[in-house]
Amino acid sequence: MIWSDLSESDRTKHDPAEVFAAGERNHHISNTAYPIAHRIVWKPYRSDEHEKRKLQTAAIERIQDFALYSHIPFCETRCYFCEYTVVSRDELQRSSEYMELLSRELKMYTALLGGRRLHGFDIGGGTPSFVEGKLIARHVEEVMKRFDCQSGFEISIETTPRIAAADPDKMRLYHDCGIRRISMGIQVVQPDLLRALGRDSNGLEHHFRARDNIRRAGFEKFNVDLMYGFAGQSLLSWEETLRQAIRLNPDFITLYRMRYKLTRISSQAANVRLDDVRDQLSLAAEILTREGYLANPGKNTYSKISNHAGTSAYLTRRVILGMPYLGLGLGAQTMTNSTISYNDGSAGKKIHPYARSIQNGSLPVQDVYDLPLAQMTAKMAAVSLYFGEINTAAFLEKFGLTLEEAYPDETKFALAENLMHYTESGNGIEIGAQKNSLALTKKGASHFNGTIALFFAPSVKEYLIGKQDENSVSPGSTGESLRETEYECILR
């Protein structure tokens, strides 16, 4: 592999203790959504306008095994806390036209990737269940006939309780067309808090009916999303949310710490104390473990199925193996072996530029970054810590150097401070990956934001070290424009 040259600030070394402190101080942004401060740190690697599609095409053609994500950017209402690419109300009626565009984008990539091995497929959003069920079924069918989907391949979709409760036929259609995992967003259960978050109509009263419809449709992999770390969310209210999720008896429960950056309520970040977040996390670990939901320290998804990570096949392979992924749809992110790109719409959240590219027969990419080794290893390490561990064999396989060679001072520091330890993880079993990993200890999980920063590229470390105001998460405060920072979410 020939890597891009390092930028000036990606050549500088930083003291791990200083980086750790900067990550802890900036706990609102030092997390798995990598990179941070996009405009500053990745600008030197951005392809120019004329070259970007050529670069994307060449990088895509070099992929052998991959995971696929289709983004459906429609929602009944826009929750104030949401960080994802969701279109505004005036575009909601364009969902069937949008599915057609998605299909045309898929065809463009089939010409480059057709027949290659596809390991997992996530349909996310937004709210994919917002669109007609038969359009999703058609999209699934198109995907499955174009790629090699062998054993271990699995499709996952997201829904809200309201839709799952109201439309049992849609749930059945999903299962019939081959989708096997479904994830339902609950977030929190207090009506007051939901209202304050702009999510009052999303179905609290429908949880049990939604669950029953999902189970009757045949789903044996049912995940529920919960959120913590909100301003004003007490420990007691968090406990109520956890207990309600457990009552639904899902197979998996995923905990998301609220990321305020770029949301409509970003100014509330200043009211969230790290100690309170830690208390919420340890309470969740205690209650969930007692109820038979297991996760190693620092992992966000708790699983009741033994030897199953609980996440979708798409995400599991991204996290453990650093597998390349293709993102289709508005603002979707794609990672090849050496590039990361973002589709049209990641900045403006409008369908128009995405549609125009596709109608012109061009790949709908907004920005393509040709990254150096230090940025690609950082991306893999940051995403890996979504499971609280970095699989050392997968790292070596992907980059041809060991984790310790890539991060000599940082791994020594993490081990000496008892933030990480070598372990045999259970997370690789279901996908056949070797079990050796460098994993967070309980102390490391409680200092997640500092520990993850050790693996960021030097330019990102420099940014964090220079950033003194830990509560400032809005783009304006750093001089970053919305356009440049908007696409830092991990999963899309």
Ligand X SMILES: C[S@@+](CC[C@H](N)C(=O)[O-])C[C@H]1O[C@@H](n2cnc3c(N)ncnc32)[C@H](O)[C@@H]1O
Contacts with ligand SF4 by CB under 6 A lie at 75, 78-79, 82, 84, 86, 125-127, 160, 185
Beta bridge partners, 365, equal 343
Number of amino acids touching ligand X (CB under 6 A): 18
Q: Does 312 bind ligand X (CB under 6 A)?
A: no
Q: Does 450 bind ligand X (CB under 6 A)?
A: no
280 binds, among ligand X, ligand SF4, none (CB under 5 to 8 A by kind): none
Place of tokens 């609280």: 388
In angstroms, the CA 380 to CA 401 distance is 13
> Given candidates 138, 144, 256, 396, which one binds ligand X under the rule CB under 6 A?
256
Beta bridge partners, 420, equal 440
- Toward ligand X, which CB reaches closer, 113 or 248? 248
- Toward ligand SF4, which CB reaches closer, 31 or 375? 31
The residues in 116-145 that bind ligand X, with binding defined as CB under 6 A, are 124-125, 127
CB of 396 to ligand SF4, least distance (A): 36
The one-letter amino acid code at 1 reads: M
| Token pair in block for residue 150 | 């062998």
CB of 259 to ligand X, least distance (A): 4
CA 41, 47, 52, 55 torsion-angle sign: negative
- Toward ligand SF4, which CB reaches closer, 72 or 173? 72
In angstroms, the CA 81 to CA 230 distance is 9
225 binds, among ligand SF4, ligand X, none (CB under 5 to 8 A by kind): ligand X
Site string for ligand X, 168-207 (x = CB under 6 A): -----------------x-x--------------------
Q: Does 47 bind ligand X (CB under 6 A)?
A: no
256 binds, among ligand SF4, ligand X, none (CB under 5 to 8 A by kind): ligand X
**Residue 381: strand, helix, or coil:** helix
In angstroms, the CA 457 to CA 446 distance is 22
Q: Does 225 bind ligand X (CB under 6 A)?
A: yes
Q: Does 259 bind ligand X (CB under 6 A)?
A: yes
Buried b (16+ CB within 10 A) or exposed e, 454-470: bbbbbbbbbbbbebeeb
Residue 248 to residues 168, 206, 262, 376, 448, Cα–Cα distance (Å): 17, 11, 32, 39, 29
Q: Residue 489 in contact with residue 33, Cβ under 8 Å?
A: yes
263 binds, among ligand X, ligand SF4, none (CB under 5 to 8 A by kind): ligand X
> Given candidates 24, 158, 410, 488, which one binds ligand X under the rule CB under 6 A?
158
Length of the chain as a residue count:
492
How big is the CA angle at 49 (ends 11 and 121), to the nearest 5 degrees? 80
What residue ranges bind ligand X (CB under 6 A)?
A: 75, 81-84, 124-125, 127, 158, 160, 185, 187, 225, 227, 256, 258-259, 263
